Amino acid sequence: MTFLVLLRLLVGLTAPGAVKAVDNPNDQGSAINVTWDAPEGESAAISGYRIYRSTSPDSGFALVGTQPASRLEYMDNDVRDGVPYYYAVEDCSPTDSARSAVTGPAVSRPQWFSSVRLNILVMLVVICAIFLIYINRARRGAKMYIRKIAGLDAIDDALGRATEMGKPILFSFGLGVITDIVVIAALPLLRRIAKKSAEYSTRLLVPNSDPIVMSAAQETVKEAYTEMGRPDFYNADNVNFLTSDQFGYAAGVDGIILREKPGAIFWLGYFYAESLIMAETGHSVGAIQLAGTTEITQLPFFVAACDYTMIGEEIYAASCYLRPEPIMLGTLKGEDFIRFWLIVLTTAVVALGTVDAVVGHKVHVLSSVFERIVTWVTLAY
């Protein structure tokens, strides 16, 4: 290696090869991508690259950027759309440099469509179309069956039990913020629980970790009480903000549980590691607990500590149960349809890939089809 370096010092560096400058695709313009190959056998001698640019192929080249020896591409973001540019790349060592031939013209332009996202667009259109078809069918009176969710049926039992014991009810969204879909899905459940608590005159406590969620919860509970003719029953102190801090919130909720000893606790929202701390504390005071979250890592803890757990998107389906309107049921059935075909297609593609691997990629058609499908699905990646 040292001999080669010495030899290079004597004969001089070779310029980078295959220099290309092209418009950066799928962007809003003002970017040209310059790539090159390192000269063979000289990687040890090169300390870096310099990239030169001009609007004329013969003169006026100015240095626009540098790259370390390990990088063989440069993104020039300082260009104007529609203007042709010419590039040359120079490799350099402490004592020598060699510039490539000029390449170009490269013209930067903005694109109107991001072609790498074509697969997402197609899937989005298909999925939305299926949802809309099912919503339309539901509107026209098609009968749609959905199975029972055990957790939802248990809500009334839990509320009844808390009322009999003379204990309050606790509802927690966890660390969810209003942009979390699971929090939006949990709001109808809060409304239902609030209405029942007004009916039974059982106190409802809703400690929150987010100020906006707190506002939404306050409005939901207030409206529910008003609908039941009990606006006087609402107490803003019961629907309050604790803290946004994860374990501060857990400590606060634990304190409420140990002091108030609720008879029923609903964990419906977004939870992280604090979930088991709160659920175990709830168990220790003998509360009946119902949980639902989309955070997969916390589901096992809720399954272990709670009496009922809604797994995954069952909590999304909950709002369809509470308002069994055709439109709501339509989206649920649409989901099922898509899920079925996803299973079928995934199984088919996996089988294809497995057979291709088993035959050692010797059947060209199989390999080609499998590669195309995988490439197309993962295009944006």
Partner 1 sequence: MLKRNVPLIIVFFTSVILIIAFFIPHRPFGDLESRFLNWYAIVAGFTLLLGLDSLARHHLIQVFRRRPGWPYSLLLVLSLAATVTLGLYSWFKYRSPFDLRAPFMWLIYTPMIIPLQSTMFATLAFFIVSAAYRAFRIRNFAATLLLVAACLVMIGNVPLGGTIWRGIVSLVHAVAPSLDPARLDRMEAFAAIKDWLMSTPQAAASRGINIGLSLGGMAMSLRIILGIERTYMS
Partner 2 sequence: MKLWELLASVDRRILYLLLSLAVALPLILKPKITVRVSDPVRSAFETVDQLPAGSVVMISIDFDPSSAPEVNPMLVALLRHAFRKDLKVMVMGHLALGLPLAEIALNQVAPEMGKVYGKDYVNLGYRPGYTALMVGIGRELRDYFNTDYKGVPIDSFEFMRRVHTYRDVGLLVSLAHGAVADAWIQFAGGRYNQPIIVGCTGVNAPNLYQYLHSGQIKGLIGGLQGASEYETLIQKPGSATLGMPAQSAAHGLIILLLIIGNVGYLLSRRKAKK
Q: Is residue 42 involved in binding partner 1 (CB under 8 A)?
A: no
Assigned token pair, 291 = 């949980």
Helices (H) and strands (E) in the chain, counts: 11, 14
From 167-175, 247-255, 357-365, 371-379, give the range in contact with partner 1 by CB under 8 A: 247-255
From 62-70, 168-176, 338-346, 361-369, give the range in contact with partner 1 by CB under 8 A: 338-346
Residue selected from 178, 349, 352, 373 as contacting partner 1 according to rule CB under 8 A: 178
From 4-12, 36-44, 244-252, 358-366, give the range in contact with partner 1 by CB under 8 A: 244-252
Minimum distance of partner 1 from residue 237's CB (angstroms):
7
Residue selected from 37, 164, 219, 371 as contacting partner 1 according to rule CB under 8 A: 219
From 5-13, 61-69, 142-150, 295-303, give the range in contact with partner 1 by CB under 8 A: 295-303
Q: Is residue 75 involved in binding partner 2 (CB under 8 A)?
A: yes
Which option in partner 2, partner 1, none does residue 65 bind, with CB closer than 5 to 8 A by kind? Answer: partner 2
Which option in partner 2, partner 1, none does residue 199 bind, with CB closer than 5 to 8 A by kind? Answer: none
DSSP 207-268: EESSHHHHHHHHHHHHHHHHHTT-GGG--GGGEEE--SSHHHHHHHHHHHHHHH--SEEEEE
Assigned token pair, 149 = 């969710």
Q: Is residue 131 involved in binding partner 1 (CB under 8 A)?
A: yes
Which C-beta is closer to partner 2: that of 111 or that of 136?
A: 111
Q: Is residue 268 involved in binding partner 1 (CB under 8 A)?
A: no
Pairing status of strand 48-54 against strand 62-68: antiparallel
Minimum distance of partner 1 from residue 173's CB (angstroms):
12
Counting Cβ atoms within 10 Å, is residue 337 exposed (0-12), middle (13-18) or buried (19+)?
middle
Residue selected from 126, 128, 142, 345 as contacting partner 1 according to rule CB under 8 A: 128
Could you give the CA distance from residue 35 to residue 72 in angstroms, rounded to a whole number? 6
Which option in partner 1, partner 2, none does residue 56 bind, with CB closer than 5 to 8 A by kind? Answer: none
Q: In this structure, are residues 238 and 203 in contact, taking their beta carbons and an 8 Å threshold?
A: yes
Distances (CA, A) of 137 to 140, 187, 316, 324: 5, 27, 21, 15
From 4-12, 61-69, 165-173, 338-346, give the range in contact with partner 2 by CB under 8 A: 61-69
Q: Is residue 77 involved in binding partner 2 (CB under 8 A)?
A: yes
Which option in partner 1, partner 2, none does residue 91 bind, with CB closer than 5 to 8 A by kind? Answer: none
From 66-74, 112-120, 142-150, 195-203, give the range in contact with partner 1 by CB under 8 A: 112-120
Which option in partner 2, partner 1, none does residue 380 bind, with CB closer than 5 to 8 A by kind? Answer: partner 2
Q: DSSP secondary-structure letter at 101? A: P
Could you give the CA distance from residue 167 to residue 352 in angstroms, rounded to a whole number? 58
Pairing status of strand 17-23 against strand 169-174: unpaired
The phi and psi torsions of 71 (rounded to 5 degrees) equal -105, 130
Q: Is residue 136 involved in binding partner 2 (CB under 8 A)?
A: no
Counting Cβ atoms within 10 Å, is residue 53 exposed (0-12), middle (13-18) or buried (19+)?
buried
Q: Is residue 312 involved in binding partner 1 (CB under 8 A)?
A: yes
How many CA atoms does the CB half-sphere of 317 hold within 13 Å?
Answer: 20
Counting Cβ atoms within 10 Å, is residue 96 exposed (0-12), middle (13-18) or buried (19+)?
middle
Could you give the CA distance from residue 164 to residue 160 in angstroms, rounded to a whole number? 6
How many C-beta atoms lie closer than 10 Å to residue 140's C-beta?
Answer: 9
One character per residue 266-305, x = contact with partner 2 (rule: CB under 8 A): ------xx----------x----------xxx--------
Q: Which of residues 218-257 bind partner 2 (CB under 8 A)?
A: 246-247
Minimum distance of partner 2 from residue 73's CB (angstroms):
7
Q: Write out the residues near partner 2 by the rule CB under 8 A.
A: 65-70, 73, 75, 77, 246-247, 272-273, 284, 295-297, 380-381
